Chains A and B, each alone.
Chain A
Amino acid sequence: MTGVRVDEAFRCEQCGATWYYDKHHCPVCASHEYGTTELDRGEVLSRTTVEMTPPDVRSPNDLALVRFGDVQLIAQLADDGVSTGDTVEFAGEYRLREGDDKTRPRLRKVTQ
């Protein structure tokens, strides 16, 4: 994930397939030609609040499993007012783990 941002997925330049978790080649057409694409808005499929976390992770850690089109990922929520079925987007600047060298966005509820 060198260089890829938290709010970006990979996108195949040959077939247009998208994925979030690193692959050596496109999972659909096996092309090695791929770049990144920014994630827009996603739907929360499930959420949890983790109370017992590793030493350098915030506690509680609010997390959501989110679907952005073909891409699904689990990421930190910016606040706990998010429920299953809500629409979320990446926003803001936070340190996801203590000791991180830079800030990254968290998922925030989109209010129409």
Chain B
Amino acid sequence: MTDVAISGVGMTDFESESDRRLLELAAVAAERALADSHHDSDEVTSIHVGNALTEALGTGTGIGNALVSELGMEGVAVDRVENTSATGASACHRGIQAVGSDQSEVALVVGVEKMSVAETQEVTDAISQLVHDREYAQGLTLPSFAGLAAGAYLDRYDAPREALGAVAAKNHRNGLANEFAQFQKEITVEEALSSPVVADPLRLYDCCPMTDGAAAAVVSEDGPVDVAAATSATGTHAVAERRDPLEIDSVRTAGERAFEAAGLTPKEIDFACIHDAFTILELLELEELGFYDAGTAWEAALDGETAVDGEFPVNPGGGLKARGHPLGATGLSQIVEVVWQLRGEASADRQVPEADTGLAINVAGFGNNSVCTVIRA
């Protein structure tokens, strides 16, 4: 496979409600990524657009083609990728595959979502339709799965709820240092533990918000950072079919494939952007990826090991919890953060010292599908 690099990245602010239209958000992120790269827009040979919810929220179909015209780039090849919450990383994966297989020379990947166009309950219902029919019949939502997994985790490992609160507090602290983050507000563990219950034992501050925003990357053969691996894997559609509620096979498999492709072990990764749609997921994914043994990530969270100045920084950009979770853009915003960290361009309060290799894991549904990207300086 041809060597693949990330030659430029950019993103919009992540906000609860953006003044920009869906296509404007995408165009702003695309222009920022192109401006950050050494490529002009007329060198772009393919565009890969990640968007999850436009049909469900009634903001139009055919957004790939519409975005091309918004950018005045008619003639270029374009496609649209949808993989629920992992849409952003899947779009990037498609661009990496296109360049790696010599099917495209310069691929522009853009992930975008505008969730504020509908009422919160409508968006929740649109997202809850990604579950299995028999799960939907029981009124299950993604927080339901997270609550069941969190209860099982705390129970099995005799872990305190403070460990979940510590994940939320840490990611908020990192978000405070990220000017693009939706929440730039510090919270205490106590505040997290006393916020309203969403799905017991998870509370409001254990859950990511709904977000408007876009993120983009330019993928080509040369650039300041290289793609060491981009892999994906699927798991069961129905969450209850997993023999152990604390296992997320798609994360484990995507990670194993990524480490093998990159020729690296978890110990050689300097920091990670983990899909913390719920605080419990940060712990489970760290364990599935082999960064921590099963049942030990909660201690690392409590001990500050995963803080920016800790042994293994996790979610230096604030994660989904604080940076926000615009479904189609999230995976790309993780990749943007990894690239900024590797180039030493993150703000001082969240810059991981001497970062050479970073990993991002973007997860669809509650582990239906996972996309793992490893990038090195």
Q: Which of A6, A20, A48, A104 contacts B147 (CB 8 A)?
A: A48
Minimum Cβ distance to chain A for residue B249 (Å)? 14
Closest to A51 in B: B197
Q: Compute the total of residue contacts between A and B using a CB distance below 8 Å.
A: 112
Q: Which of B144, B151, B241 contacts A72 (CB 8 A)?
A: B241
Whether B137 pairs with A47 at a CB distance below 8 angstroms is no
Minimum Cβ distance to chain B for residue A14 (Å)? 20
Minimum Cβ distance to chain B for residue A4 (Å)? 8
Provide the residues of chain B in CB contact with A74, threshold 8 Å: 135, 138, 140, 144-145, 148, 239-240
Whether B134 pairs with A20 at a CB distance below 8 angstroms is yes
Does B234 count as interface, using CB distance less than 8 angstroms? no
Does A41 count as interface, using CB distance less than 8 angstroms? no
Whether B139 pairs with A97 at a CB distance below 8 angstroms is yes
Does A76 count as interface, using CB distance less than 8 angstroms? yes
Interface residues of A, count at CB 8 A: 33
Whether B240 pairs with A21 at a CB distance below 8 angstroms is yes
0/1 interface trace, chain B 1-33, chain A, CB 8 Å (1 if under): 000000000000000000000000000000000
Whether A49 pairs with B200 at a CB distance below 8 angstroms is yes
CA distance A97 to B139 in the complex (A): 7
Whether A22 pairs with B245 at a CB distance below 8 angstroms is no
Whether B148 pairs with A46 at a CB distance below 8 angstroms is yes
Provide the residues of chain A in CB contact with B130, threshold 8 Å: none
CA distance A65 to B242 in the complex (A): 11
Minimum Cβ distance to chain A for residue B149 (Å)? 7
Does B299 count as interface, using CB distance less than 8 angstroms? no
Whether B138 pairs with A75 at a CB distance below 8 angstroms is yes
Of B121-129, B166-174, B208-216, B339-347, which stretch is located at the interface?
B121-129
**Interfacial residues, chain B to chain A (CB-CB below 8 A):** 121-122, 124-125, 128, 132-135, 137-141, 143-145, 147-152, 155, 196-201, 236-243, 245
